[in-house]
Structure 1
Amino acid sequence: MVSLPHPLPGAVGLSHLSAYDWEAADGVCGGSPHLHLVCTEGYVVTAGRGAVQTLSPDGYRDLPLEAGSVAWFTPGTVHRMVQGGGLRITVLMQNSGLPEAGDAVFTFPTEVLEDPERYAAAAALPAGTGPEVAAAARRRRDLAVAGFLPLREALQAGDNEPYLRFQQAAARLVRARVPTWRELWRAGALAAAERTGAQLDALEAGDPRYLAEATAFGARPTRLGGYGMCGRRDEYALPGVTLPQSGD
């Protein structure tokens, strides 16, 4: 059984992002479009400006981002962070550990999505933060945009079938990982909720002895400027928060 003894509040994931300023094929600077299968993702904008482009079965949206604004997207929503100038975001992820364990699928073209080995090779990045990693991250971003643009065009024309097919392909890609995700969820988000239930039971019974275990924690980023899906990412080596993988 996986154990996450001291997760962040609610067992959320945490990172900081500076959106990529690389120009894509459509002239837009930003990150790699992708969706999450079971995790809601939230942006808290701390500096700069930009936007997040989203695709869902009910259409295309372009949400402006500026310091102080918040945006979030439920599972199945493709999101593409767009750089407008100095955009800096704190990312909060539901179900800490699951995104890093593969709960994210890029909008690669269909022929890549339908070949698990080809998908894995296209999604992987070399270790480190050097120029070769930057080049690989940019190629990955460009491939995701190549699949994203036709999906967006179809949705804007009122046709959601290509998007629904993408969701189905994404679900097929990750199906084998579900048992691992379930263990991470049980150890993290579910365990955190169950602890709250136990504490409420104790208070109702007039037994606050669990408060004797009260303590505090602190942490600083352990890696600066990693290459995530949406941009350069500062990460924390905390239980369930940021594992050494390339998801946002």
Structure 2
Amino acid sequence: MVSGPRPAPLPGAVGLSHLSAYDWEAADGVCGGTPHLHLVCTEAYVVTGGRGAVQTLSPDGYRDIPLAPGVVAWFTPGTVQRMVQGGDLRITVLMQNSGLPEAGDAVFTFPPDVLADPEVYAAAATLPPGTGADTEAAARRRRDLAVEGYLPLREALVAGDAGPYRDFQRAAARLVRPQVPDWRELWRAGALAAAERTGAQLTALADGDPAHLEEATAYVSGPSRRGGYGMCGRRDEYTLPGTTAPYDVTG
């Protein structure tokens, strides 16, 4: 009989949240979120309302991708992304390797001197708990500092110089290197475990054993926190069963 830990995670052990993009104006006159990249996670935006854009920096250069209801856009590791508010932009976010972004996989485009010092970076990246005025002010300062570091990266890439963008990627990799062993354990408990369960189920079916189907059931969940301050906007979060930490409620 094939079995696995219960309750089951979302398909593929992905993370889920809803975002309403920030409408704070930045130094370049653009309203929107905090530029950042992910080191090992692909992120997808499913646009559910409003309009806006996402600015990206990658080896492909600089792109400004329009966002409107029905659009799905996704970004592979290393892509710098900046959500732009165009009017009531609302997005459902699907995140590969649930738990890793919360564990530090996302790195903000802070200026090089901030990225060079892990303690300074952590102080700038961490928000106070809660959803009050102090948290909002800290989230806005964090966004503005990331935009300060992002604009030179974009300017250089548009001019054909990928050097600063590459330097940022390397700085981000150095910054997170000490955390990789912990990330590996999260991945093993989440996305890898989900894939291995599928492999075991396929083996069982090939042997004529459908016993795992006896565990069939359904789950439902709602937001565990509304209006939190995320990287790109106000964030409705889900405490989903069976996913990797920090959302693992099974102990």
Q: TM-score category by the smaller chain?
A: over 0.9
Q: Partner amino acid for 1:8?
A: L
Name the residue aligned to 1:216: 218
DSSP 3-state at the match of 2:172: helix
* 2:43 aligned partner, one-letter code: E
Partner-residue secondary structure (3-state), 2:217: coil
Q: 2:214 is aligned with what amino acid?
A: A
CA distance 1:86–1:16, change in 2 (3 Å): same
Secondary structure, in 3 states, of the residue corresponding to 1:234?
A: strand
Measured in 2, the distance between the counterparts of 1:191 and 1:45 equals 29
CA distance in 2, matches of 1:4, 1:138: 39
Give the unaligned 5+ runs of structure 2.
none
Match of 2:21 in 1: 19
Describe the SS at the equivalent of 1:62: strand
1:84 positional shift: 0.3
Which residue of 2 is the match for residue 75 of structure 1? Answer: 77
| Distance (Å, rounded) in 1 between the aligned partners of 2:213 and 2:224 | 30
Contact 1:13 1:241 in 2 (8 A): no
Corresponding residue number in structure 2 for 1:197: 199
1:35-54 equivalence runs, <5 A: 35-54=37-56
The residue correspondences of 1:131-210 to structure 2 (distance < 5 A) are 131-210=133-212
CA–CA separation in structure 2 for the residues paired with 1:192 and 1:156:
40
| TM-score normalised according to structure 1 size | 0.95
State the alpha-carbon separation in 2 of the partners of residues 5 and 191 from structure 1. Answer: 13
What secondary structure sits across from 1:15 in the alignment?
A: strand
Distance 1:143 1:124, change over 3 A: same
The count of residues paired between Structure 1 and Structure 2 equals 242
One-letter amino acid of the structure 2 residue matched with residue 219 of structure 1:
S
Moved more, 134-143 or 5-14: 5-14
Letter in 1 for 2:243: G
Structure 1 residue 184, shift from structure 2 partner? 0.7
Tell me, yes or no, if the aligned pair for 2:111 and 2:149 is still in contact at 8 Å: yes
* CA–CA separation in structure 1 for the residues paired with 2:46 and 2:24: 22
Please, which runs of 5 or more residues in structure 1 have no aligned partner? none
C-alpha displacement at 1:58, in angstroms? Answer: 2.7
Q: CA deviation at 1:240?
A: 3.0
Structure 1 residue 6, shift from structure 2 partner: 1.9
Tell whether the 8 Å contact from 1:58 to 1:160 is kept in structure 2 after alignment: no
Q: 8 Å contact 1:14–1:241 — kept in the other structure?
A: no
Q: 1:241 to 1:141 in 2, by over 3 A?
A: farther
Provide Cα deviations, 1:136-158, integer angstroms capped at 9, x if missing partner.
00000000000000000000000
**Alignment RMSD (CA, Å):** 1.3
DSSP-derived class of the 1:203 partner: helix
Instruction: Specify the SS of the correspondent of 2:137.
Output: helix
1:30 maps to which of 26, 29, 32: 32
Preserved CA contact (<8 Å) 2:187 2:244: no
- Does the CA contact (< 8 Å) of 1:14 and 1:242 recur in 2? no
Any conservation in 1 of the 2:38–2:77 contact (CA below 8 Å)? yes
Match of 1:115 in 2: 117
Measured after TM superposition, the shift of residue 242 of structure 1 is 7.8
Q: CA–CA distance in 1 between the matches of 2:162 and 2:60?
A: 8
Following TM superposition, by how much is the alpha carbon of 1:241 offset from its aligned partner in structure 2, in angstroms?
A: 6.5
Q: Percent identity?
A: 79
Counterpart code for 1:144: A
- The aligned counterpart of 1:124 is 126
